[in-house]
Amino acid sequence: MFFIYELCQKIIFHFLNFLCLFIKDKKFKRFVYLRDSKVFQKKISELKFNHNQDIYWFHVASAGEMEQAIPVARRLSTDLKVKFFVTYYSPSAEPFLKNFPEILLAIGLPIDVRKNYQCVINKMQIKKIFFVRYDIWPSLYDVCKKNSLQINLLSASEKKTKNGIMGFISTEWNKRYYKNMDNIFAVSKEDFNYFSKQNTKSKIYLAGDAKWARAFERAKTLSEKKLEKDFSCFISFCLDQKKFMQKKCVVFGSPHKDEHLIAISLCNFSKDYFIIYVPHDVKEENCLKIKKEFENKNSRVVLYSDIIKTLRNNLIDETKTNIDIKYNLEIDKNYQINKNYNVYNLKYNAHFLAEYLNQFEVIIFDKIGYLAEIYEIADAAIIGGGFDGQIHNVLEAAAHATPVLLGNSFHRAREAADLVNSEAAISFQNPNEMFQFLVQWVSLKERGSDSTSHPSIRLNLTRTKTIELFKSIPDTSEIILNALLLQGGEKRNR
């Protein structure tokens, strides 16, 4: 059986290599390169390390699972002083490797052939492997069982990762492995019950989702991330739009068609709103196309890459100048976030003249890697994909206590459902309902303290509920660490 399966793996690899002759896409070529057994085995053979060092193997599918693994690995590294061998399937995980602690070696998972994995175990004497959520490969699993590795499943969930027939096949396929795992760390009570019914040998733990811990960790450590001076000036510019121009800052994170149309329509309320539009695709051609659509609505729009060329020249430092900056400071207390912004090198005494602030109503952020920092200063975040069932990351905004607005097709994303069910996010039945909410936010006056339906009140409640929810999330890393300690063979380093 394995002979036929592994033969198919090799045939598919050679076919992909053949396609590389015609497909010039760099991501595709990188994906195929990572499947190369020769590259994998060469890296393993060249590895030098302390043979007395305990090594754990983490395998993830892509970027999302890598982010879930990081806080767990960090805790295991701190308390057990172990190092890690990390494999991943998608190249999207590679940018996050810099955040993974104590990596001995990180490399793409090759084609699923037992010989590849046996050379790893022979070389490193690995005792434990951690699969994150799914992506369990037959040959890899078989080698781990035959070599008596302790097999752990983190962030385990019954939720399908795919729809339709592929989702059904994936779910049924993985059931055979659930029965013989050593430890399964379930995300929710429903997942705990599901896995308890699937097997009799595994130890099942309710551990929560490490994704929440990672999002909160990133939000808390934002002040330690040294930002570019240009970006720091940009943050000051955005805060001036909020404070002095009395505008609400709305961030559109990876908007799809429906969210995009809302952003375009919001241009009619430019005196009340300052929009930061962060497309999923930041290629120049796409950003210029989006810019043109805003310009067709007579909106004063600019790309981030263009505005940073003029920011420094228009910056006024109150500590170094006697210029009297005159603004109307009667600010609506209900939409201002009363907090010190958690940004490393933000200059609170740096401002811009009103004439310069008035030049821009929409900024299209055409650079990757700063969405979390942008969410930090937003009065509300509108997350793309909520109306078409392809919702993007909601935790990145929520971790900053920024109210999240999204469509009602979010049920495939458990964390989005948890936010909505806990009143820590607001969902809307259709794009028009969301747009009307935004219109009412700036057009309706509050009528007494009992006006709980007013958008300002609802958003403040959402912010409060978000903070409460993050505080109530179980410490996944602590639960996993204690489970390993209780099973013996591990000793906490003090």
186: phi then psi, degrees, rounded to nearest 5: -80, 150
Compute the average pLDDT of residues 32-40. 94
Q: Model confidence at 340, in pLDDT bands (50, 70, 90)?
A: very low
Residue 491: its pLDDT value, please?
61
Q: Model confidence at 133, in pLDDT bands (50, 70, 90)?
A: confident
Least confident of 8-22, 99-113, 200-214, 397-411: 200-214
The two tokens of residue 113 are 């052939």
pLDDT exceeds 90 at position 215 = no
CB-based contact 472:422 (threshold 8 Å):
no
Q: How far apart are CA 152 and CA 241, in angstroms?
A: 49
pLDDT exceeds 90 at position 50 = no
Q: How far apart are CA 72 and CA 66, in angstroms?
A: 10
pLDDT exceeds 80 at position 323 = no
pLDDT exceeds 70 at position 347 = no
pLDDT exceeds 60 at position 330 = no
Residue with the larger pLDDT of the pair 323 and 287: 287
Q: Model confidence at 474, in pLDDT bands (50, 70, 90)?
A: confident
The two tokens of residue 457 are 């009140």
Q: Which residues contact 154 (CB under 8 A, 6 or more apart)?
A: 68, 69, 72, 130, 131, 132, 133, 185, 207, 210, 480
**Mean pLDDT, the chain, integer:** 84
Residue 257: its pLDDT value, please?
94
pLDDT exceeds 50 at position 327 = no
Residue 459: its pLDDT value, please?
92
Compute the average pLDDT of residues 287-310. 90
Q: How far apart are CA 83 and CA 148, in angstroms?
A: 19
DSSP-assigned beta bridge partners for residue 59: 87, 131
Q: Model confidence at 210, in pLDDT bands (50, 70, 90)?
A: confident
Q: Model confidence at 143, in pLDDT bands (50, 70, 90)?
A: very high
Distance of CA 263 to the CA centre of its chain: 22
Residue with the larger pLDDT of the pair 322 and 278: 278
CA Rg value for the chain: 25
pLDDT exceeds 90 at position 331 = no
Residue 364: its pLDDT value, please?
94
51-92: pLDDT as tens digits:
888 999 999 999 889 988 999 999 999 999 999 999 999 999
DSSP line for 398-461:
HTTTPPEEEES--TT-HHHHHHHHTTSEEEESSHHHHHHHHHHHHHPPP-STT-TTSHHHHHHH
Residue with the larger pLDDT of the pair 323 and 414: 414
The two tokens of residue 352 are 């811009």
Other beta carbons within 10 Å of 148? 9
DSSP line for 203-252:
EEEE---HHHHHHHHHHHTGGGSPPPHHHHHHHHHHHHHHHTS--EEEEE
pLDDT exceeds 90 at position 310 = no
For 85-118, give one letter per residue: b (16+ CB within 10 A) or e: bbbbbbbbbbebeeebebebbbbbbbbbbbebbe
Residue 293: its pLDDT value, please?
93
pLDDT exceeds 50 at position 435 = yes
Residue with the larger pLDDT of the pair 225 and 33: 33
Q: How far apart are CA 27 and CA 94, in angstroms?
A: 12
Residue with the larger pLDDT of the pair 11 and 342: 11
375: phi then psi, degrees, rounded to nearest 5: -60, -30
DSSP-assigned beta bridge partners for residue 129: 57, 151
Q: How much helix, strand and coil, in percent to the nearest 5, is found in the chain?
A: 50, 15, 35
Q: Model confidence at 334, in pLDDT bands (50, 70, 90)?
A: very low
Q: How far apart are CA 164 and CA 144, in angstroms?
A: 30
Q: Model confidence at 224, in pLDDT bands (50, 70, 90)?
A: low
Compute the average pLDDT of residues 248-256. 93
357-394: pLDDT as tens digits:
888 899 999 988 788 888 988 999 999 999 988 888 89
* pTM for the predicted model, two decimal places: 0.77
